[in-house]
Chains A and B, each alone.
Chain A
Amino acid sequence: MKALKVLLFGIIFSQMHFFSAIAQTPDTLLLDQIEVTALSQNSNNDMLQHQFDSEILASNRSATFADFLQQNSQVFIKDYGPGSLATASFRGTTASHTKVLWNGMPVNAPNHGQVDFNRLPVFFVDEAQLAWGAHAANQQGGIGGVVALNNKSQFNKGVELTAKQAFGSFNSYGSYMDISWSGAQLNSRTRVFRASSDNDFEYLNTAPIQTQKMRQKDADFLDRGFMQELYWQVGKGIFSLISWNQWNERNLPPIMTNLERGGNPEEFQNDRFHRQILGYKHFWEKASLEIKTAYFDERQHYFLRTTSNFNDHATVSLINSKNDIRVYQFLTSYLQQIGKRWELTTAIDINKQMAFSTNYEEPQHRNQMSLLVNAMYKDLKGNKLQLGAHQDDVDGQLMVFSPFMMYSARLPLTENWRYTAGVSRNFRVPGMNDLYWYPGGNPGLKEEVASQADFSLHYEKTWNKASLNIRGGIYASDIREWIQWRPTAFRYWVPENVSRVFARGTELTLGGKLDDGLFNHQIQINFAYTRTTDESTVAQIENTQGRQLIYIPMHHGNLFYKMGFRTWELQYTLVYTGSRNTSLNKVDFYGFQLPAYTLHHIAITKKWHEFTAEIRINNLFDKDYQAIRWRAMPGRNFAIALSYQLKSKP
């Protein structure tokens, strides 16, 4: 009977919407019920969220989320090069409009609001979801969308060990170890990784008077991470303690036009963070309660020094910038089933952010509180209505009331077609740099407010040996009080709420699986058309109204194909990035637009019992390209990896 109750909860939770999925500690007892099976097409997805296929996620364990999302989603990754900064933007918004949650807790840096996706190893994540539009509106700041990364407990699995060693071009190494033990009530899991690269790839430098092949320099990096998870199941509750610790060191390479700088520049950025979450989750027959508290300590150190060529190498310039962030968070959520059709979720999120920076006049802190109510109705046909709202308070000031509504239903007279419509309002508070940077910070900034609408269609069909999943949608987002740093008469810049950005577009996703017994195939195609323009009065005056914002491609997409044959597997990935404006000018100058490019990657995997070997070729056709103007990118490169996986019952 107990097992039946647990199963019931599993079913309820599997149908729950995004907030509940991302705000609660994932739990094997529940989530095992929704694991993706061979031919299903992510059945828990709807049109405003996407949960990545666990197989695809598993096959990218040594990648970063920058590469993973670039190759497997509609999210646009602005990539400054291997090992360098990589940020994600949804639907024509910027990196600071992408909210990233780790087990329900936001990891966006409170100072700049961004997350570096090159510092997010897939290896540390068991489940990854994307949400956008009305489905992301329950998260303050997720104006563009939400990336939710979760860890997952497991019980009664005994000892499990995974070890992976990867080698690649440019002296790239990756070592990964994952060891887990679980009994009936306890689960301990430890993961460590070390990834490094000299990153001294050859590229074509078109900046000098004579175009020449050059080697990238000062781009080496070393990332190390350690994650410890502990889960303790007591009766109908689970305690969890998760600790994520990471140390990232990287040199910062100059752009192609600046390779002949004197003074032997030494420029690097070291980051380290320690994120701890302590949680408890309790289940009743028709309700659940989750309580979490977290402490994040994040430190960033930027250093630049040049020395004289003429004066005993005396220091000429020195920047030694340090930023420390500490965040205390408390989150509690309660879910209650009402009758047979309704579920009600309430949540309170309280956090205190503290920033210590050499770029501020004094330490700064911010207190935030958010109250969320979310109701969902679902009938027997699978039609769903979701209504909710959150009201936030920042340092005693009420933010804009943020409601959201979504309705999803089967199209009349069809069996496999569904539609989803959603409307929402959401906001983002200014980053602490916007408020307190010295000089220029503007403490009077207001929050950015977005009004959004979505409509999408979804076709899903499963046959005996195949399945097909097609989604297409349109959206529009009107973002007011958009913060823009503006020049002043004093030659430093000040952020102001001057822009009004209108983002709209279409998205298309196609997924298919086919298994004929000998071969099995899987394909996923994502494509996005994005128009993002500033429609403010200031843009009118400056004649930039209607122009695509910089570094947001109008077209981008990717294709992932996987074919399995016995113990062999072939993966092919195509990533297309359309042209990007690099200024708000009309495109009458080579420097104002970067050309489109297409990259092809291929990988072959072979399994022998507990061992798996993989050969990967990135940028198969050795495409010379720039993702960001004058940032060097690697041509064709190789990687091999050998992994060992052991599973034994206790």
Chain B
Amino acid sequence: MTATSLQPKSLTTDARVRVRAKRLVLYTILVSVTGLFLGPFGWLILSGLKTQGELAASPVHWLPDVFQWHNFADAFHQIDFLGYARNSLVIALIYATLVTLSSAWVGFGFARLDAPGKKVLFGVLLGSMMLPQMVTLLPTYLIFAKVGMVDTYWPWVLWGLSAAPYLVFLFRQFFAGMPRELEEAAIVDGCGYATIFWRIFLPQSWPVLSASFIIAFTWTWGDYIAPQLLLSTDRTTLAVAVMTAYVNDGGTPVPELQAAASVMYVVPILLIFLIAQRGFVAGMSTSGLK
């Protein structure tokens, strides 16, 4: 073999090795980062399967000697788990349904209609997204207390009816992209805008409607502070119950039941996300930029 024929051949093998090495590094990074990201949730599940002794053991007791599946049943019975889950569900359904409809309604206005002051209002809408909710929530709580709406679900009805800027923006982007002819023909036919919205635009916006509904549902299901402030221990949501109710008579926490309960609290949200992933992600990323 001469040097000339060897040279290009070894270069290609070299390049191939380099590509393969690069790919190996990439997969190693991805797999380890993914492992790290799943770690906390895995640990939560493992903790929910241990005994209290194992959970307090030092040094760490990596795996339970016997998987304590009954922890999940116990967590169900130690508190009125189903009752709290129902409260969460009711609040989340009320809010998600109302806020999706109201945001679609408002979004339609911003996308398809004009009036003096529209620019300013839209600016205020975008600006209000920057407003930390915590700043308004605390005084809102005082007002709700004053008008006797504490320990009722009315706050969620009102919040739902008044549309969420984030979702309004989502709908506005979607409706603005629909062809003009849609409503022009309907106007000529004598339809009012409400009819146009309800009969023509809404039925075509299932992707956004479902994305909005799921986003709003997960917000409410995950919200800890509003129900903690506004609702009493009986009427409160699963988020608050999981956080605070797993204590024994002496007031000390029961971590294995709390872990099991929080797995049962989190899994529905993960399932909803996995099932509706596409719309959810599309919704998140649209609102992010465009």
Whether chains A and B associate is no
Report B's interface with A, CB cutoff 8 A: none
A interface, CB within 8 angstroms of B: none
